């Protein structure tokens, strides 16, 4: 039996749509709640990011509880940057006890990328070990082998980077994540469908669901900034040129068009099992993208 | 070897301000090789401190200089017993181990650090040193083609690269090679890529309960009780 509505859909052959919300820096959750209400019925699940880019924020687990309270389907993003194996297991138990069962297992950005660059980086585990730890907990013990009073049960995901400029080691890691129990993958931003096609030719041999990451760019400047500063991201020159061609003040509109076109093509050509829309601070425009991609009303 | 950098002069001046007679103690091993605290640096620092005190007049110090072959070895410390009896503090240009060895041997005397001990590494070229070992106590270099991901990957992860690498460089530093790409390339050359496909479980941090002690199996006297 499926653990969650999202897991059920994962195996239904539906085209899946997920998105993500970055929690606020501070205790005022009104905007996050507004975005949750805006998006919860338009997508299959909402990721809540875990101090994305190592910038300290309201926690992912807190955001996921809000998604749940508001009737949405949360995906808990969990990085290994800030918690050792005790804290990770404890948070997983808390999540499960409150009905949060979809977990995206990530290593996490380096502390140097964020706004607390003097903090101690933890990385007691990596993403593969985190996936494996969840499977061990599901079998009824913690990873020290001690029996759990009540074993949790999760739907586990991970990330993969089909556009990495050095792909072979990334694919080795992908296979390790599959072996460690990842059921679904949300990819890093896809800007060149050729790389997604090549990746899927390889990945389709595994029994996992792939959701292509779609980053909505608001301008050519933002694209260049991401190329220079965001770990791993490589925005294709063709897309930068297209964004640059937009008139003044129309960059975001162009970005929505580009994202919608990518999503439409992925769906029409059945390239992978769904998309994960990352609006990076512009969560409010996600419905516009889904509408432009003709994906409105996806959830059944 | 151990690599360190000498502390800024004003920090050292503040540290010694309340001590009249100061022994500047160099170390003839690692600190000499990394240009942080050998005989030459002791002499430079001695001159610099004299010039500084004449400029700002923060007390009148009397300095002595001496460089031991190694500060981390008790038998060498015996060579300065008489000199130490005449000073108010030792400014050690040894690594953090040297500073502590001096403190242990001369419990009645302040032992001040003149360098910031940074890492264990090797010489890349004249004046450039690179960190290579984290002393994790559980060496796996046979699985990673002789390249240490615990030291050279900013996250110290064991199962392959994160997705932050770009142009072969680390997400945290565009000048730093991604350790895992280096590991991959070298394993490929050695036809040992299967080592990278293996799952490596979480590290056993019990291999490094601090502080650690190693007792030679051939040693007759294991020394004092631990702790």
pLDDT tens-digit readout, A225-260: 999 888 888 899 999 999 999 988 899 999 999 999
The answer to whether the beta carbons of residues A50 and A75 sit under 8 Å apart is: no
The answer to whether the beta carbons of residues B114 and B45 sit under 8 Å apart is: yes
Alpha-carbon gap: B205 to the closest alpha carbon of chain A (Å): 9
Partner residue facing B196 (CB), from A113, A164, A172: A172
- Per DSSP bridges, beta strands A16-21 and A45-48 are parallel
Chain A interface includes B155 (CB < 8 A): yes
Q: Is the pLDDT of residue B83 over 90?
A: yes
pLDDT band for position B88 (50/70/90)? Answer: very high
> For residue A17, what are the β-bridge partners?
A275
Alpha-carbon gap: A123 to the closest alpha carbon of chain B (Å): 6
Alpha-carbon gap: B165 to the closest alpha carbon of chain A (Å): 5
Across residues A139-146, what is the average pLDDT? Answer: 98
Angstrom distance (rounded) from CA A173 to CA B66: 54
The 3-state DSSP class for residue B54 equals helix
Partner residue facing A112 (CB), from B154, B161, B167: B154
Instruction: Give B-chain residues touching A232 at CB under 8 angstroms.
Output: 162-166, 171
Alpha-carbon gap: A71 to the closest alpha carbon of chain B (Å): 32
Alpha-carbon gap: A155 to the closest alpha carbon of chain B (Å): 21
Taking an 8 Å cut-off on Cβ atoms, the answer to whether A128 and B160 are in contact is yes
The answer to whether the beta carbons of residues B117 and B106 sit under 8 Å apart is: no
Residue A300: the pLDDT is 43
A63, part of any domain: yes
* A-B Cβ pairs (cutoff 8 Å, strict): 101
Across residues A197-201, what is the average pLDDT? Answer: 97
- Give the structural domain span for A91: 10-215
Percent of chain A with pLDDT over 70: 98
Chain B interface includes A232 (CB < 8 A): yes
pLDDT band for position B209 (50/70/90)? Answer: low
Q: Is the pLDDT of residue B207 over 80?
A: no
Q: Is the pLDDT of residue B69 over 50?
A: yes
Handedness of CA A244, A247, A250, A256 (dihedral sign): negative
pLDDT digits (tens, 9 = 90+) for B4-58: 999 999 999 999 999 999 999 999 999 999 999 999 999 999 999 999 888 876 6
Q: Is the pLDDT of residue B185 over 50?
A: yes
Alpha-carbon gap: A159 to the closest alpha carbon of chain B (Å): 8
The chain-wide mean pLDDT, for chain A, equals 95
pLDDT band for position A190 (50/70/90)? Answer: very high
Nearest CA in chain A to B195: A172
pLDDT digits (tens, 9 = 90+) for A53-64: 999 999 999 999
What does the longest C-alpha to C-alpha distance in chain A come to?
A: 62
pLDDT digits (tens, 9 = 90+) for B107-156: 999 999 999 999 999 999 999 999 999 999 889 999 999 999 999 999 99
Instruction: Give B-chain residues touching A82 at CB under 8 angstroms.
Output: none
Q: Is the pLDDT of residue B223 over 60?
A: no
Q: Is the pLDDT of residue B225 over 60?
A: no
Q: What is the DSSP string of A111-158?
A: GGGSS-TTSPP--SS-HHHHHHHHHHHHTTB-TTSPBPSS----EEEE
Nearest CA in chain B to A180: B199
Of residues A295 and B117, more confidently modeled: B117
Chain B interface includes A169 (CB < 8 A): yes
Taking an 8 Å cut-off on Cβ atoms, the answer to whether B164 and A232 are in contact is yes
pLDDT digits (tens, 9 = 90+) for A145-163: 999 999 999 999 999 999 9
**Exposed e or buried b for every residue in B62-87, given b needs 16+ CB within 10 A?**
ebbbebbebbbeeebbeebeeebeeb
Chain A interface includes B196 (CB < 8 A): yes
Residue B54: the pLDDT is 84
Residue B227: the pLDDT is 47
Q: What are the start and end residues of each CATH 3.40.50 domain in chain B?
A: 2-119
Number of domains making up chain A: 1
The 3-state DSSP class for residue A18 equals strand
CA angle centred on B178, ends A230 and B171, rounded to 5° = 15
Residue B220: the pLDDT is 55
Residue B210: the pLDDT is 72
Instruction: Give B-chain residues touching A123 at CB under 8 angstroms.
Output: 155-157
Instruction: Give B-chain residues touching A164 at CB under 8 angstroms.
Output: 163, 165
Alpha-carbon gap: A106 to the closest alpha carbon of chain B (Å): 9
* Domain range B2-119, CATH architecture: 3-Layer(aba) Sandwich (3.40)
Of residues B15 and B218, more confidently modeled: B15
CATH number at residue A36: 3.20.20.220
Taking an 8 Å cut-off on Cβ atoms, the answer to whether A160 and B163 are in contact is yes
Size (chain A), residues: 300
3-state secondary structure A182-251: CCEEEEEECCCHHHHHHHHHHHCCCCCEEEEEEECCCCHHHHHHHHHHCCCCCCCHHHHHHHHCCCCCCH
Taking an 8 Å cut-off on Cβ atoms, the answer to whether B159 and A176 are in contact is yes
Chain A interface includes B201 (CB < 8 A): yes
A262, part of any domain: no
Taking an 8 Å cut-off on Cβ atoms, the answer to whether B167 and A165 are in contact is yes
């Amino acid at each position: 039996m499926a653990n969650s509505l999202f897991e059920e859909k994962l195996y239904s052959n539906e085209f899946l749509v997920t998105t993500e919300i970055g929690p606020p820096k501070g205790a005022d959750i009104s905007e996050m709640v507004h975005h949750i209400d805006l998006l919860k019925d338009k997508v299959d699940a909402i990721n809540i990011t875990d101090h994305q880019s190592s910038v300290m924020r309201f926690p992912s687990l807190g955001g996921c509880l809000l998604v749940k309270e508001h009737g949405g389907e949360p995906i808990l993003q969990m990085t290994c940057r800030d918690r050792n194996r005790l804290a990770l297991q404890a948070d997983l138990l808390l999540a499960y006890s409150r009905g949060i069962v979809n977990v995206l297992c990530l290593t996490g950005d380096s502390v140097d990328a964020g706004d607390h660059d003097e903090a101690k980086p933890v990385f007691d585990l990596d993403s593969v070990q985190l996936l494996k730890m969840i499977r061990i907990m599901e079998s009824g013990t913690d990873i020290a082998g001690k029996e759990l009073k009540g074993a949790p049960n999760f739907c586990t995901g991970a990330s993969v980077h089909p556009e990495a400029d050095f792909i072979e080691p990334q694919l080795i890691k992908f296979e390790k994540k599959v072996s460690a129990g990842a059921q679904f993958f949300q990819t890093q931003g896809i800007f060149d469908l050729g790389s997604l096609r090549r990746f899927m030719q390889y990945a389709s041999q595994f029994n996992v669901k792939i959701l292509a990451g779609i980053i909505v760019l608001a301008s050519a400047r933002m694209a260049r900034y991401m190329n220079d500063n965001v770990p791993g991201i490589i925005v294709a020159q063709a897309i930068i040129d297209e964004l640059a061609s937009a008139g003044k003040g129309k960059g975001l509109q162009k970005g929505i068009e580009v994202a919608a076109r990518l999503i439409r093509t992925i769906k029409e050509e059945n390239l992978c099992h769904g998309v994960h829309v990352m609006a990076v601070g512009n969560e409010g425009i996600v419905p516009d993208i889904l509408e432009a991609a003709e994906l409105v009303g996806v959830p059944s | 070897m151990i690599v360190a950098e000498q502390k800024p002069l004003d920090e050292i001046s503040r540290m010694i301000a309340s001590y009249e007679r100061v022994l500047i103690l160099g170390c003839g091993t690692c600190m000499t090789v990394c240009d942080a605290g050998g005989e030459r640096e002791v002499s430079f620092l001695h001159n610099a401190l004299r010039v500084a005190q004449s400029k700002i007049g923060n007390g009148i110090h009397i300095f002595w200089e001496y460089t031991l072959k190694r500060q981390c070895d008790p038998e060498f410390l015996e060579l300065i017993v008489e000199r130490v009896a005449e000073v108010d503090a030792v400014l050690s240009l040894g690594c953090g181990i040297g500073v502590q060895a001096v403190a242990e041997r001369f419990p009645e005397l302040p032992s001040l650090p003149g360098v910031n001990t940074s890492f264990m590494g090797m010489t890349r070229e004249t004046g450039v040193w690179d960190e290579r070992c984290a002393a994790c106590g559980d060496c796996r270099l046979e699985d990673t083609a002789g390249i240490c991901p615990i030291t050279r990957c900013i996250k110290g992860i064991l199962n392959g690269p994160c997705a932050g690498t770009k142009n072969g460089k680390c997400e945290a530093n565009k000048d730093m090679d991604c350790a895992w790409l280096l590991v991959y390339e070298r394993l490929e050359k050695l036809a040992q890529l299967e080592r990278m496909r293996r799952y490596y479980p979480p590290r056993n941090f019990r291999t490094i309960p601090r502080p650690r002690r190693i007792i030679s199996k051939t040693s007759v006297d294991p020394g004092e009780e631990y702790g």
